[in-house]
């Protein structure tokens, strides 16, 4: 049997000051802000920007075209999606079919949440296991599948 070994790596990453990364990770072609923590078994793909003072917990996947603001918390096993299968199947390498995700400042996303290509405003809280399918424009606590507003925050 033939195979091509692909190893986890850190490649072409623009790091801010005092960034902590717990290996193994697979991060490449992205920007990570000052004082951010990246846990083990995380993948951060190219064209991702993560702000300052963030915490990305283990086993999370941050795909291309995601921007995360400052002071954010991303729980264990959070999955970001950039392909909505708009052609009936995976877009593959056709980036024209991919969509971007914008996460504001001070956002907390609970473990095992799934974030489709959306915009999430500053100071939103996304509950564990939530599936965010639409833009979130009001600070508050959101949970469920699809994620719905449970209560507003000041």
In terms of residue numbers, what domain contains 95? Answer: 10-152
- In angstroms, rounded to a whole number, what is the distance separating the alpha carbons of residues 53 and 130? 23
Q: What is the pLDDT of residues 67-105, one digit of tens each?
A: 999 999 999 999 999 998 888 889 877 888 999 999 999
User: pTM for the complete prediction?
Assistant: 0.94
Query: SS in 3 state form for 48-82?
Result: CEECCCCEECCCCEECCCEEECCCCEECCCCEECC
Number of H helices, E strands in the chain: 0, 21
| CATH code for the domain in which residue 30 is found | 2.160.10.10
Domain count, the chain: 1
Largest CA distance in the chain: 59
Q: Is residue 49 part of a domain?
A: yes
Supply the pLDDT for residue 4. 76
Supply the pLDDT for residue 81. 96
Q: Is residue 53 part of a domain?
A: yes
pLDDT < 50 regions, the chain: none
């Amino acid at each position: 049997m033939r195979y091509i070994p692909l190893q986890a790596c850190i490649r072409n990453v623009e790091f801010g000051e005092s960034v902590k990364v717990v290996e193994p990770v697979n991060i490449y072609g992205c920007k990570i802000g000052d004082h951010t923590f990246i846990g083990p078994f995380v993948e951060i793909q190219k064209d991702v920007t993560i702000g300052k003072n963030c915490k990305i917990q283990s086993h999370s996947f941050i795909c291309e075209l995601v921007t995360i603001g400052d002071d954010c918390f991303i729980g264990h096993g959070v999955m970001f999606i950039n392909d909505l299968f708009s052609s009936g199947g995976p877009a593959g390498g056709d980036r024209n079919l991919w969509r971007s995700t914008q996460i504001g400042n001070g956002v907390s996303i609970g473990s095992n949440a799934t974030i489709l290509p959306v915009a999430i405003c500053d100071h939103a809280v996304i509950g564990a296991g939530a599936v965010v399918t639409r833009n979130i424009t009001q600070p508050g606590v959101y949970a469920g599948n699809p994620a719905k507003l449970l209560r507003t925050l000041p």
